[in-house]
Chains A and B, each alone.
Chain A
Amino acid sequence: MCLAIPACVEQLTAQNHAIVNLSGVRKEISLALVEDIVPGDYVIVHVGFALQKLDPLEAERTLAMFAEISALDNNLL
């Protein structure tokens, strides 16, 4: 029920809707709860609504933090 997934916005459609791509499946969702979305943005989709835009910089930062952990471990070896 709470499972929501990141999806790429492919195209804006009428009435503040958009077509997103969910692992190859294209689906129309509502953008009523978000602002300033452009094609190429990633949004978290839940029950047919985009809940938030994903922040690509923050995602990279989190991944970099994981990478740091592995770099540290490799150095220890």
Chain B
Amino acid sequence: MKYIDEFRAGALAQQIAAKIASEASPGRDYHFMEFCGGHTHAISRFGIVDLLPGNVHMIHGPGCPVCVLPIGRVENAIHLAQMPGLILCSYGDMLRIPTANGMSLLKAKAQGADIRMVYSSADAIKIAQENPQRQVVFFAIGFETTTPPTAVAIQQAQALRLNNFTVFCNHVLTPSAISHILQSPEVREFGLVPLDGFIGPAHVSVVIGSQPYEYFAEEFQKPVVIAGFEPLDVMQAILMLIRQINAGYAKVENEFTRAVSREGNRKAQSLVAEVFELRRTFEWRGLGWVPYSALKIKSSYADFDAEQRFRISTTSIADNKACECGAILRGVKRPQDCKIFGTVCTPENPVGSCMVSSEGACAAHYSYGRFRENNHVAAQEN
């Protein structure tokens, strides 16, 4: 398919790999965090790690919206869905996240709650129009990519004068999460993450542009290369990061120029600014409370805010003790370091959030990486 297949050519990947191998200096290690779940998925699926020399390490960051949503908010959504007469609309990925007592939206649905899986915020509007007697809540999650569509839905609901539609807003911001990883005191608890550079998000950057990352390059002296989601894009970005480090500079480079500009999508940005404002603080799964890292609905749109209409309270629930998601999202541990990885915790029965979505570090490793590891072991044994 156009704009996909050309960026997956295996022979070219080998050649970029050869370049990486020749340019990575054998005397040092390189630790790169791919922030975005889309990259985590691509790296696992296409076996990119196998193409990299041993001293180039990829660390999975917190860039999967399903993985970073705290259990308390999922619990809130379940309570909402259990309210008599209410319809909860949710993106499919959310349904299987287990809460502390083993509940999930999927189980609530099986017990009779009216939970509808939607592909788009526009579907939720349609459901509200078709069910004027019932309250319809859209469970909105995601980074800067899913936020503009939610803003469109809220404005549409206003234009249509829908009085039975609200949004339970859980939208979070990428740049604040990156700075939190780089400077939060909690990092000490897990040990320091050796980070030499970032692969910048693809589609988040389509919306916000490359400009917001300039701060990291300057302030923390960490190179950032924004990359597309196809394997050649990721390989090329790794090469570009290595070149920056070898040359001793740190700036923002853009590999994904076919979709990302410095300014990003201005139309989407102004829509978001019109409907949402910053929250003082928001809880992230794995990262804890991060200041100014999430959005809430502006008071001028309060009629469409589920938190206001249903007086949703903040509930903070600790993760399962065995789960290492917190350390994994910060890049300090790998999925295989978790004691229950692949045994108690599997994609069919996820304990932690990293196992729920295919972009989560644990699920990606479970689906693709685990076999690679087994093959390596088998090859060594033979």
- Spell out A's residues near B (CB within 8 Å): 1-6, 8, 23, 30, 32-35, 42, 44, 46-49, 51-52, 54-56, 58-59, 61-63, 65-67, 69-70, 73
Q: Chain A contacts of B201 at CB under 8 A?
A: 2
Given A30-B152, A65-B236, A51:B229 Cβ within 8 A: no
Q: Chain A contacts of B180 at CB under 8 A?
A: none
Per the CB 8 Å criterion, the residue count for chain B at the interface is: 56
Residue B339 CB within 8 A of the other chain: no
| Cβ B149 vs Cβ A35 within 8 A | no
From B16, B146, B267, B271, give the contact of A47 (CB < 8 A): B146
Tell me how far the C-beta of A72 lies from the nearest C-beta in chain B, rounded to whole angstroms.
Answer: 8
| Cβ A47 vs Cβ B152 within 8 A | no
Contact with A along B244-282 (1 / 0, CB 8 A): 000000000001011110000101100100000000000
From A4, A63, A70, give the contact of B6 (CB < 8 A): A63
| Cβ A55 vs Cβ B259 within 8 A | yes
From B11, B18, B38, B148, give the contact of A33 (CB < 8 A): B148
Q: Chain B contacts of A6 at CB under 8 A?
A: 1-4
Q: Chain A contacts of B11 at CB under 8 A?
A: 70
State A67–B11 Cα separation when bound (angstroms): 11
The stretch that binds A, out of B59-67, B216-224, B320-328, is B59-67
Q: Chain B contacts of A35 at CB under 8 A?
A: 267
Given A33-B271, A63-B6, A47:B12 Cβ within 8 A: no
Among all A-B residue pairs, the 10 with the closest Cβ atoms: A48-B120, A6-B3, A59-B258, A58-B257, A58-B258, A2-B38, A49-B149, A33-B268, A52-B206, A70-B15
| Cβ B12 vs Cβ A3 within 8 A | no
Q: Chain A contacts of B7 at CB under 8 A?
A: 62-63
Residue B29 CB within 8 A of the other chain: no
Q: Chain A contacts of B91 at CB under 8 A?
A: 1, 47
From A44, A51, A54, A70, give the contact of B12 (CB < 8 A): A70
| Cβ B120 vs Cβ A34 within 8 A | no
Given A33-B268, A62-B255, A51:B2 Cβ within 8 A: no
- Spell out B's residues near A (CB within 8 Å): 1-4, 6-7, 9, 11-12, 15-16, 18-19, 36-38, 41, 63-66, 91, 93, 119-123, 141-143, 145-146, 148-149, 152, 201, 203-204, 206-207, 229, 232-233, 236, 255, 257-260, 265, 267-268, 271, 357, 359
State A8–B1 Cα separation when bound (angstroms): 10
Closest chain B residue to A23, Cβ basis? B1
Q: A34-B267, A69-B12 are in contact. List 19 more A-B contacts (CB 8 A).
A: A1-B93, A2-B142, A3-B38, A4-B203, A6-B4, A33-B148, A44-B206, A47-B121, A48-B120, A48-B149, A51-B203, A51-B207, A55-B259, A62-B257, A69-B15, A69-B16, A70-B11, A70-B15, A73-B18
Tell me how far the C-beta of A50 lies from the nearest C-beta in chain B, rounded to whole angstroms.
Answer: 10
Q: Chain B contacts of A54 at CB under 8 A?
A: 3, 258-259
Closest chain B residue to A6, Cβ basis? B3
Tell me how far the C-beta of A13 lies from the nearest C-beta in chain B, rounded to whole angstroms.
Answer: 13
| Cβ A2 vs Cβ B65 within 8 A | yes
State A2–B37 Cα separation when bound (angstroms): 7
Closest chain A residue to B266, Cβ basis? A35
State A54–B268 Cα separation when bound (angstroms): 16
Q: Chain A contacts of B207 at CB under 8 A?
A: 51-52
| Cβ B3 vs Cβ A49 within 8 A | no
State A61–B201 Cα separation when bound (angstroms): 20
From A3, A8, A42, A51, give the contact of B268 (CB < 8 A): A51
| Cβ A3 vs Cβ B206 within 8 A | no
State A47–B93 Cα separation when bound (angstroms): 12
Closest chain A residue to B233, Cβ basis? A62
Given A30-B152, A69-B12, A73-B18, A51:B265 Cβ within 8 A: yes
Given A49-B149, A66-B16, A66-B232, A5:B4 Cβ within 8 A: yes
